[in-house]
Structure formats: structure tokens, C-alpha cells
Amino acid sequence: MASPRVLVLRAPGTNCDVETAFAFESCGGAVSSVHVNQLIEDPLLGKDFQILCFPGGFSFGDDIAAGRILAQRLAVHLSDLVQAFCSEDRLVLGICNGFQIMMRLGMFFPDQVDQPPATLTQNKQARFEDRWVHLINSNSNSVFLRGIENIYLPMAHAEGRFALRDRAAGDALAAAGQLGLRYCKEGEGVVDATLPFPHNPNGGDRNVAGISDPTGRIFGLMPHPERHLDATHHPFWTRREEQPEHGEGRQIFENAIQYFE
């Protein structure tokens, strides 16, 4: 079978596209890194891809708000392409700034675009945070989290706090398996009560670090799996008695490629 084709979309300010492309390539994907202006000029460039990825960075300098300008350009010029990825049997992944872009496009809540049940906003401590975090799979429906129970990844963001509209909205999303990736304390399980800093690095509701759409094919997360592909990326790798073959973030990309096998 031919390798699944992966479209990594970049824009001015994107700075994680090379690492993200490498992550997909190392797992067997056929990757093309495409600038948003190229895609606007010829939207048909995106028609033959199975996976769309919005990588991390600071698209358009995060002017106005994180991901806002790129999301607006996509909504105005490429809404048909975005909708095709959402409605067909394809996958979409957003990492950090990519997650913010997808949230602003309404990709996770297709039936609630006018009144979304949640958003991403400024970290509770109102500053940029850069650290490693423990994460747990909380009954996720996501294709990207298959086979993952716990994962340790780096995060780096200033506007990554997940904010729910109300308790009822959170209950409904959790019941549907959409609040699938949560911050946690090492060795402990899922809790809904907001964990203290630094276990929850931004104060997000229900300790949410990543969410999916109702189908599980569309997934966004604030931590960076592409920054933990190799065992030596782990901050304490020299102290570990046994080295795993790969870093913990790699399985997210493997799951995406294996979905089409």
C-alpha cells in the first residue's frame, strides 16, 4: 500500500513544521510541507492528502490572538478544503498553535459553531510556560491516542488554557470521549478538579491538554509530541536504567499512519 500522504501547513511564524514533517516521515508518511499562500493560490493541491497537520509556532506572530489570523485566512479562502478533511475519512492534527487554529475554525464542535462549548485562552498565570508535563488518556475516542495510556511531553505556550462554557458542556464532551488528553500527576489517574501548577501548567478546566471531534479523526493538543520522538529527547534520559526504542510522542504519529494501513 502507498504511504499515506501528509500535508503539513505552514505560514509566516510557523516554526515546528520541519520537526513535525520528520515525525510523520519517520513513521512512514509521505509528507509535503506547503505554505498557506501556495494552497490559497491552488486549493486543489490539498485534495489528495489523507492527513492534514497544523504544526506549532506563532503563525502571523499570534497577532490579535493565537492562531486567529491563519484561522481567518483558512475560513475565507480554504473553507471547502477544511470541510473536506472534516467530513471525509481523513485525519487532522493540530499541535499547540495548530490546536489554537483548529479551535478558532470550530473543527471540534461541528454542530455548535455559533455557540462553542469551549475555547482556548490565556494561561491562568498570564505568562508563557515552557516545561515537561505528564498526560493521561481519559477515555479518548481519538485515533491519535490509540494504545496510549500515559505520555510525557514538553509544552510551550501562553494561550493554552482550555475553558469550558459551563459544567453541562464539559460533562457532554467528556461522555463523548472528546476530552481525551488530560494533565495529571505522575503515577496518578484522571481528576476533574483543576490540578495545581505545575501539574496543570495553564489552569485549564478539567486539566484538559487535548481534545477531539465526535468522530475521533480530528485531534488537537497543546503539548508537542514531535519534540519527544527519540528516547534521548527525554530530559532525564542519561539517568534511566533502560532506554526505550523511541520517545513517547512517536506513537501519536504512528497511529495516524497506521489508520490508513
Mind listing the pLDDT tens digit for each residue in 196-225?
Answer: 999 999 999 999 999 999 999 999 999 999
Give me the active site residues, please.
Answer: 96, 224, 226
The whole-number pLDDT of residue 131 equals: 97
- DSSP one-letter string for 8-68: EEE-TTB-SHHHHHHHHHHTT-EEEEEEHHHHHH-GGGGTT-SEEEE--B-GGGG-SSTTH
Domain 5-258 fold is: Rossmann fold (3.40.50)
State the chain's mean pLDDT as an integer: 96
The whole-number pLDDT of residue 113 equals: 80
The alpha helices in the chain, defined as continuous H runs, are 17-26, 36-41, 68-77, 79-87, 97-105, 167-175, 250-258
The whole-number pLDDT of residue 261 equals: 83
The whole-number pLDDT of residue 134 equals: 98
Q: For 140-169, write each residue's pLDDT tens digit.
A: 999 999 999 999 999 999 999 999 999 999
List, in order, residues 6 or more apart from 145 with CB less than 8 Å away.
Answer: 137, 180, 181, 219, 252, 255
The whole-number pLDDT of residue 2 equals: 82
In the predicted model, residues of the chain with pLDDT beneath 50 are: none
- CA dist 170 and 51 (Å) reads 28
- CA dist 142 and 179 (Å) reads 9
The whole-number pLDDT of residue 1 equals: 63
